[in-house]
Amino acid sequence: MAMPDPTLGRVQDTGHAGIRQGFQSIMDSLNQNSQMALTAIENWKQRDYAAQEAEKERVFKADEALKSRTHDAEQKGLDRASSEKIAHENNETQKYVSNNAYNASIFNSKAQTSKEWNDAMTAAVAAAQAEWVTDKNGNRVTDRYGRYMVKNAASIFQRQNTPQTQT
């Protein structure tokens, strides 16, 4: 039976100390096991949370990379389309400028030809009307030369505009 311990102020267990100690050991072991289980559960939760966060991060990065690649592809597509449009516009501009230069060349050639023809005819008519006329160099020509010019104005004009070929 338990008797009071005068030093401690409690009941002292005299016969069942081993059982109590065994029971306390079992309780300590259960507490330790439950603590380990709780720690393991907490670690598992943390690992699971970390894995979920890592998966979210991986999905986010993959999505961002896809958006970036899509944007880059669209930008390159726009750049390519823009470059092709600019090249097409440059080609059209070159054609326009080339056609204008060609037309201006033809016009100038016709104008020069027309001017030379008019000069030859003016000189021929003036030579036919006057006894003394001057040619385009300012030299006085005789009436005889003027009549020659009237008769041969077309051939003179043709000789002036015929390109010289080297033999």
Tens of pLDDT, residue by residue over 94-114, are 888 888 888 888 787 777 777
pLDDT digits (tens, 9 = 90+) for 9-25: 555 555 566 677 777 88
Cα 116 to chain centroid distance, Å, stands at 54
Residue pair 127/133 in contact (Cβ under 8 Å)? The answer is yes
Phi/psi of residue 21, nearest 5 degrees: -65, -40
Q: Ranked by mean pLDDT, which of 25-34, 56-65, 73-82, 142-151 comes out on top?
A: 56-65
Predicted structure pTM score: 0.31
Beta bridge partners of 11: 4
Residue pair 36/43 in contact (Cβ under 8 Å)? The answer is no
> What is the reported pLDDT for 10?
57
pLDDT band, residue 74 (cuts 50/70/90): confident
Domain ranges of the chain: 46-160
pLDDT band, residue 83 (cuts 50/70/90): confident
DSSP string for residues in 93-140: HHHHHHHHHHHHHHHHHHHHHHHHHHHHHHHHHHHHH-SSEE-TTS-E
For residue 44 the two structure tokens come to 């598992």
Distance CA 29, CA 44 (A): 22
